[in-house]
Structure 1
Amino acid sequence: MSKKLNNNELRAIGFYSEALLEQAGRFAKNLIKNKILGKEEILAKYRALISNPDSFASDAIFAEIAQLVKELQPIEDSVGLKATAFELKKEVPEYKIYGIENIDKEAINQMDNAMRLPITLAGSLMPDAHVGYGLPIGGVLATNANAVIPYAVGVDIACRMCLSVFEMDNHYLEQKSQMLKNFLVENTLFGIDGRFAKPMPDEVFDKPEWNATKIIKDLRHKAEMQIGTSGTGNHFVEWGILEINKESEDLKLPTGKYLALLSHSGSRGFGASIANYYSKLAMDKTKLPKEAKHLAWLDLETEEGQAYWIAMNLAGDYASANHHQIHKKMAKSLGIKPLLMVENHHNFAWEEKLADGTPVIVHRKGATPAGKGDLGIIPGSMAQAGFVVKGKGDFSAIYSASHGAGRLMSRAQAMKNITKQDIKKVLADKGVTLIGGDLDEAPMVYKDIYKVLESQNDLVEILAKFTPKIVRMADPDPKGRRED
């Protein structure tokens, strides 16, 4: 483990102000360099300090940082809050699991814990499910209408899909593959620290919500610098062929094969900082048994709950703007407007109703909205097809479907067992060109998308098939960081 403290580690314990991150990072570096304290000791002190800076007012080492916390990062939402302890329900309420034969036991255990929360009213587990923090990836959870769980939304708030379809057939991709590859390199930027020197302006920054809280205000500059960029991990932008085999009133396009652009990413550093801050706040206020501690919630009738809700929805608008900038740049490079755009979030919380009309907050962590008539995108992998789908509105799944194929292998297992040559062979067999990417996103770490779709025939109707051909992902991060 690195002896240095990075900003992601500081954000994880509750530092969100950019100015404070810079000061705290520099201070920690000096302490380590001069052998005053080690990294873990500093982290422990910072963790205590961020919750109660006043207790460090007379500390010989940390008094200065404590004062900066009070000046740069007032805990505006948590002042006066008292922690409340809750027990889980003794029995696991019944819920539907799709494709259970291909879901690991730990993911099911996590979903069981979520179903036992006192605020849970309904839930479902999608066939691409695998282990996550708190709620498993692929988990759908409906809670009472005044409770939102930051970790059930996810760290990458509003991670989403976006597809643009162009009036060019598959032969164009074959003939212009190098040009399209160049467009990807010129118009996209990946990585946790990725930012454009001169970002495109965007009307999303005209929204008044950017002034709603100090946290949001402090993160605005980072959001402005990262607009139009993508993260690491499983985030991608790719050219491929969209195949429509039957005419559909939903897509309003003739049958045939089209050039298409598909992107997958979320709300970048802005969303991650919001998620980390409010997840910690929720866990400080809502005390749960150890096995369910990451499922702590915020009350939407309180200031901190409303502050998170505003920030989450703003992150959703921002994530959408990120995708739209990428697609606009690509369309401009092509010199043609898209015929169709399909998009959807899959890390978010919505105000909805159960089948009996009960108002709820539906958390979809790695799950695609699939209410009756909802259009969405379910990708496979860089070597598997993805699909444009229409929801059938099945309540057993809480009006949801999978958000992808789902992982068969953990990132650690992939890094240990897969080689670059393994990936090259698979991609060559499929005729796919990869720019960037790492071993943990190899095609073989994902489940068979066709088996996943077969498990949810009752949930979605397939409208079109997308086959990736030129894929852009983040280069391997030297520090091993991920943002997905």
Structure 2
Amino acid sequence: MGKKLSGKDLIKLGFPKNNSINVTLGQTNRYHKKVKKEQLLTEAKKVLQHPENYKGDGVWGKIAESLLDPVVVKRQTLKTTRAPFRIYGENEIEAQAKYQLFDALKLPISVAGALMPDAHSGYGLPIGGVLATKNAVIPYGVGVDIGCRMSLSIFEMPVSYLKGKKDQLENILMEHTKFGMQETHKVKHDHEIFERNEFKDIPLLKRLKDKAYKQLGTSGGGNHFVEFGIVDISTPEREWKLPAGHYLAVLSHSGSRGLGANIAKHYTYLATKQCPLPKHVQQLAWLDLDTHDGQEYWMAMNLAGDYAKACHDNIHYRIAKQIGTRAVVTIENHHNFAWKQRVNGEECIVHRKGATPAGKGELGIIPGSMTAPGFIVKGLGNPESLESASHGAGRVLSRRKCKETLTQSEIKKELKAKEVSLIGGGIDEAPMAYKDIQKVMANQKELVTVLGTFTPKIVRMDR
């Protein structure tokens, strides 16, 4: 008998001569490399005898599924007709983004869709794409940065603090925010999220826990930021106990860091294996929520979303501590996520890839650019947009186009004109890279009502 578990060993044990053997070898090779063969055979025999006892187990659950109710892999084809959809601000959206939505609407699982006015092309679903599906989740419909979100803390402090303490606030952002792949906080903070069962039960997440711990309270590269600015509240909510007026505030934009990226990569791979699609739409491969992998992704996605929130909470806690106060109002929302939501009377999975939830009365923050205001909004619950709104202004220039056509002197001139101080930030995040946020907001008056604005003044991004 060899040292490594083989198909012959499993057949001797009584495994049927079908895909359950491949699944068992795949799972044990991936997650139990260091476990002795005899131990693996003992456990495999128990699973074979009573697979129902192992449903949902991180390693053996998928093997149990292959014995009880095997996932049927069949080549999928697109329908000839699209599911119902609505496009907001159509004249401002590039054709490629529309075509990507149209392809997604032809998936056999699609129920309805929408395109937000900040939309532009991406991978799988376009950025600004919203898609409702029946009992299936598309990892690339959620996006790589799972749970990417906005968080706004409003402080009961006068805006004069911004000018009077400008150097001090710049130093706080320099020293107490961390960006990109390498930077982490010297003093790490613990968080209750690391006690979650998902980190113990799902082998992939078990491996990622240390990385997630190190990256807590940090922000990604690209368009992620932490900034001080001025909030102007025109229509305060009653529970805020804050009158209309101008206040100091902190706005952050980031997601689930390496944790979310690794989850997206792993489950996208599984989806493409289980759901073969025509090549041009392969990134729209889905996981059935009745399968082991579909359930596991759903749990991992929700953990990543909660971890993203924990990161923002930590960022805001560190900054508030430095300025010696607490936020009186916090407004926050995901924009790369999937939710269970009723659409036309039935429960669906609504993917919002670069789109803000805008259910009736739901609060959110839609940023502009580093020199343009963001908007504090309340959702109107419009069913035609699947209760969604834009997640920002949206790009008008690609990163490559920015590098080819813009100069640092142009950016400095724009920053100076708007009295914005920038720490870090590449040319690909220039204010000119983004659409006119005023036009974007005008194109979604049916989706949200505006309660106030946030104007950036000191912006920190990755270098």
TM-score, scaled relative to structure 1: 0.82
1:172 aligns with 2:172: no
Q: Does 1:340 align with 2:304?
A: no
Q: 2:264 corresponds to which letter in structure 1? A: A
Verify: 1:97 aligned to 2:87, yes or no.
Answer: yes
**1:241 is matched with which residue?**
230
Give 1:135's aligned residue.
125
The answer to whether residue 253 in structure 2 is matched with residue 264 in structure 1 is yes
In structure 1, the partner of 2:293 is: 304
What is the CA–CA distance in structure 2 between the aligned matches of 1:252 and 1:358, rounded to whole Å? 38
- Provide the C-alpha distance between the structure 2 equivalents of 1:344 and 1:195, rounded to a whole number of angstroms: 24
Q: Which residue does the alignment assign to 1:450?
A: 438
Query: Does residue 1:113 correspond to 2:103, yes or no?
Result: yes
Shift in Å at residue 92 of structure 1?
Answer: 2.3
Selected match of 2:400 from 389, 412, 415? 412
Cα pair distance change 1:202/1:171, threshold 3 Å: same
Asked if structure 2 preserves the Cα contact closer than 8 Å seen for 1:382 and 1:471, the reply is yes
Alpha-carbon separation, structure 1, partners of 2:245 and 2:108:
50
* Residue in structure 2 matched with residue 46 of structure 1 by the alignment: none
Output one character per residue of 1:31-84: Cα deviation in whole Å (capped at 9) or x when no partner.
Answer: xxxxxxxxxxxxxxxxxxxx99989xxxxxxxxxx9788727998776655532
Q: Any idea what the Cα deviations from partners look like across 1:187-228, whole Å, max 9, x if unmatched?
A: 100002332343111121122221121001010000001000
The amino acid that maps onto 1:118 is: P
Within 1, Cα distance between the matches of 2:418 and 2:142? 34
1:209 is matched with which residue? 198
Moved more, 226-235 or 167-176: 167-176
CA distance in 2, matches of 1:373, 1:312: 25
Q: Which residue pairs with 1:435 in the alignment?
A: 423
Q: Which amino acid aligns with 2:455?
A: T
- Residues 247 and 311 (structure 1 numbering): CA distance in 2 closer, same or farther, change over 3 Å? closer
Give 3-state SS (helix, strand or coil) of 2:269's partner.
helix
**Aligned partners of 1:246 and 1:157: how far apart in 2?**
31
Q: How does 1:51-200 map onto structure 2 within 5 Å?
A: 71=33, 82-144=72-134, 146-200=135-189
Contact 1:160 1:265 in 2 (8 A): yes
Secondary structure at 2:33 match in 1: helix
| Unaligned 5+ runs, structure 1 | 1-50, 56-65, 476-484
TM-score normalised according to structure 2 size: 0.86
Query: What's the CA shift string for 1:273-305, capped at 9, x where partnerless?
Result: 000000111011101112211111001111111
What is the distance in 1 between the residues matched to 2:136 and 2:355? Answer: 19
Correspondence for 1:287 among 247, 271, 276 = 276
SS, match of residue 128 in structure 1: strand
Instruction: Report what 1:350 is aligned to.
Output: 339
Query: In structure 2, how many angstroms separate the alpha carbons of the residues matched to 1:139 and 1:338?
Result: 32
Q: What's the CA shift for 1:149?
A: 0.5
Contact 2:59 2:203 in 1 (8 A): no
- The aligned counterpart of 1:219 is 208
Q: Per-residue deviation at 1:186?
A: 1.4
Amino acid at match of 1:113: D
- Counterpart secondary structure, 1:309: helix
User: Structure 1 pair 72/231, CA: closer, same or farther in 2 (3 Å)?
Assistant: farther
- Percent identical residues: 52
What is the aligned partner in structure 2 of residue 399 from structure 1? 387
Residue 29 of structure 1 corresponds to which residue in structure 2?
Answer: none
- The amino acid that maps onto 1:71 is K
- Kept after mapping to 2: 8 A contact 1:53/1:69: no
Contact 1:78/1:281 (8 A) holds in 2: no
CA contact (8 A) 1:77 1:304 kept: no
Matches within 5 A, 1:374-385: 374-385=362-373
**Which one-letter code corresponds to 1:176 in the other structure?**
K
Pair 1:233–1:359, CA change in 2 (3 A): same
Shift of 1:101: 0.5
Closer, same or farther: CA 260–288 of 1 in aligned 2, 3 Å: same
Aligned length: 413
Residues in 2 aligned to 1:183 and 1:101: alpha-carbon distance in whole angstroms: 42
CA contact (8 A) 1:53 1:70 kept: no
Structure 2: runs of 5+ lacking an equivalent: 1-21, 36-57
Secondary structure (helix, strand or coil) at the match of 1:85 reads coil
Which of 359, 364, 378 is equivalent to 1:390?
378
CA distance in 1, matches of 2:381, 2:29: 53
Structure 1 window deviating more from structure 2 (391-400 vs 203-212): it is 203-212
Q: Is the 8 A contact 1:165 1:242 kept in 2?
A: yes
What letter corresponds to residue 374 of structure 1 in structure 2? E
| Bigger Rg over Cα | 2
Q: 1:37 maps to what in 2?
A: none
Letter of the 1:313 counterpart: N
Flag the 1:293–1:77 CA change in 2: closer, same or farther, 3 A.
farther
Judged with a 3 Å threshold, the aligned counterparts in structure 2 of structure 1 residues 229 and 85 are, in CA distance, closer, same or farther, namely same
